[in-house]
């Protein structure tokens, strides 16, 4: 395969672009290279569906993969984004579970697939197991954060929290302003925060009218980070739970004794 069959400049193996494989023995990298299959997906094509067998490990070489859940009415909820250099569902290395989400390519995407029959050689390397468990723990923390956001915070706080998370991924801001690259469509952003596109647009417009943010194409500029963190119910150092009887964006979506949120928007 052209992508993984030649060494990059500096003598590093091309597979070391993937965090899961970085620093492994050359013989193991060659084994993975020899047994991987390069697959190309167009925008909107499916890598696997929820409840499919976990019979291969996928490594994203180029493009992006969205982790998506679907409601009974077809509503989409994007629960994760897999970037180049990352693996899709590393947990398949740890057990034989079925897929817990549907994986769909965003834009043209190139993926390397390694079949389950080749896993023993990979998981015999302690570093691979450690990284797979670390990824699993990270996914668990994100799932808890998502549960908190969806069940305990209204739309304004959910959206602000998501955008601040993206800001951390894109790089720490300097000063009290920041710019965030948005998804190419509001439909995608709406699916990431579990809200209708119309309600998402209303919230963005309210922020714009107040001067809190400004927007140019797919870039959102936050004009006052401190105030924006307040909208997310955050302070430097973590989350701030809403006090009893609180109102506004930091109020819980349900009552103090509610097990299920009364409203999500």
CATH number for position 144: 2.60.120.10
pLDDT tens readout for residues 214-240: 988 889 999 999 999 999 986 544 444
- Residue 165 pLDDT level (bands cut at 50, 70, 90): confident
Domain region containing 212: 153-239
Q: Same domain, yes or no, for 141 and 183? A: no
pLDDT at residue 6 above 70? no
Q: What is the tally of structural domains in the chain?
A: 2
Q: Is 250 contained in some domain?
A: no
Q: Is 6 contained in some domain?
A: no
C-alpha–C-alpha distance, residues 156 and 62, integer Å: 33
State the CATH number of the domain containing residue 163. Answer: 1.10.10.10
Rounded percentage of the chain residues whose pLDDT exceeds 70: 84
Q: Is 3 contained in some domain?
A: no
Most confident by average pLDDT, 163-172, 179-188, 201-210: 201-210
Torsion of the alpha carbons at 92, 96, 97 and 103, rounded to the nearest 10? 40
The pLDDT value recorded for residue 179 is: 92
More confident residue, 14 or 257: 14
Q: Same domain, yes or no, for 34 and 141? A: yes
The pLDDT value recorded for residue 3 is: 55
Token pair 């029959």 is found at 117
pLDDT at residue 259 above 60? no
Q: Is 252 contained in some domain?
A: no
Phi/psi for 225 (5° steps) reads -65, -40
Q: Is 90 contained in some domain?
A: yes
C-alpha–C-alpha distance, residues 137 and 92, integer Å: 14
Q: Same domain, yes or no, for 94 and 201? A: no
pLDDT averaged over the chain?
A: 85
Q: Same domain, yes or no, for 28 and 145? A: yes
Q: Is 55 contained in some domain?
A: yes
Whether 193 contacts 203, CB under 8 Å: no
Q: What is the pTM of this model?
A: 0.76
> Of the residues 149, 179, 195, which one is the last residue of a structural domain?
149
């Amino acid at each position: 395969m052209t992508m993984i069959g030649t060494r990059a400049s500096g003598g590093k193996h091309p597979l070391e672009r993937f965090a899961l494989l970085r620093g492994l023995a050359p013989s193991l990298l060659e084994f993975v290279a020899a047994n991987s299959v390069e697959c190309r997906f167009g925008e909107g094509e499916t890598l696997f569906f929820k409840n499919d067998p976990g019979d291969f490990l996928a490594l994203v070489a180029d493009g992006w993969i969205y982790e998506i859940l679907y409601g009974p009415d077809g509503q989409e909820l994007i629960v994760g984004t897999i970037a180049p250099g990352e693996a899709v569902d590393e947990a398949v290395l740890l057990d034989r579970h079925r897929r817990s989400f549907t994986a769909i390519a965003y834009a043209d995407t190139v993926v390397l697939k390694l079949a389950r029959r080749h896993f023993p050689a990979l998981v015999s390397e302690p570093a691979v197991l450690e990284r797979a468990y670390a990824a699993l723990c990270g996914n668990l923390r994100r799932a808890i954060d998502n549960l908190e956001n969806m069940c305990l915070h209204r739309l304004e706080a959910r959206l602000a929290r998501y955008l601040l998370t993206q800001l951390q991924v894109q790089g720490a801001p300097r000063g009290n302003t920041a710019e965030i690259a948005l998804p190419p469509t509001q439909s995608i952003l709406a699916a990431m925060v579990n809200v209708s596109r119309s309600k998402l647009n209303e919230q963005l417009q309210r922020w714009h009218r107040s001067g809190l943010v400004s927007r140019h194409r797919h870039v959102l500029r936050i004009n006052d980070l401190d105030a924006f963190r307040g909208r997310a119910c955050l302070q430097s150092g973590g989350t701030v739970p809403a006090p009893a009887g609180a109102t506004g964006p930091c109020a819980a979506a349900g009552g103090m004794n509610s097990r299920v949120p009364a409203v999500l928007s």
